[in-house]
Chain A
Amino acid sequence: GAGVSQSPSNKVTEKGKDVELRCDPISGHTALYWYRQSLGQGLEFLIYFQGNSAPDKSGLPSDRFSAERTGGSVSTLTIQRTQQEDSAVYLCASSLEWGDNQPQHFGDGTRLSIL
């Protein structure tokens, strides 16, 4: 069975450009999470989806960040007018369903570098 798939694996772009990151969760997983990992750091929560709705967007750093999920499956994270501090690895995770005690399974992330 396929795991969480993220694309692109690497993205280099110039400051001020918009970027779109994609996450394809494990088939049948209804909960989807985005996290950000800066160099040598732990993971920072960004946003959570249950189905197509996002009950918790509290981790998004600014209004330049947005995410959507359609069809209860694929999700895209968009960063507008990128800044150098946006450079990080963006990780997506999914779990079978919402609720406590559901392990989250991660993709390998998108390494974003802003020049």
Chain B
Amino acid sequence: GESVGLHLPTLSVQEGDNSIINCAYSNSASDYFIWYKQESGKGPQFIIDIRSNMDKRQGQRVTVLLNKTVKHLSLQIAATQPGDSAVYFCAENSGGATNKLIFGTGTLLAVQP
């Protein structure tokens, strides 16, 4: 079946350290992936996306890596700040006629001051 899963349900890091959040996906035909950040009481906020013809994409303090061989996705956050504390979801675009997103259960990132 379709599934997108996360390896670490909770990640605790010190302020200023780099964070790495991992995600595994099961549909080898998926060609578009998105990372979202969700703060308490808010909707998911788009962070960065990547297409399957790329293996790395960088944004402001964030980098997404895609390894299609092992169907693995990661989000790296540089110099993690308290404001980065949130739940992070990877999402897989199912393509086809809908482009619905398939989400994993999320990773809670806790930044310690």
Contacts and interface: CB of A to CB of B under 8 A. Distances in A.
A99 interface: yes
Interface stretch (A13-21, A42-50, A67-75): A42-50
Nearest to A89: B43
Contacts of B89: 42-43
Interface string A89-100: 001010100111
B103 A100 contact: no
Give the interface residue-count category, chain B. Answer: 20 to 34
A104 B45 contact: no
B46 A55 contact: no
Contacts of B69: none
Contacts of B28: none
Interface string B72-113: 000000000000000001010101011111111110000000
For B100, B104, B105, the residue with the greatest tally of chain A CB atoms inside 10 Å of its CB is: B100
Contact of A33 (B36, B49, B100, B104): B100
Contacts of B91: 43
B59 interface: no
Contacts of A6: 43
A91 B44 contact: yes
Contacts of A102: 99
A93 B89 CA distance: 15
Interface string A71-111: 00000000000000000000101010011111111111100
Instruction: List 3 A-B pairs, minimum CB-CB distance, nearest first.
Output: A106-B43, A42-B103, A56-B98
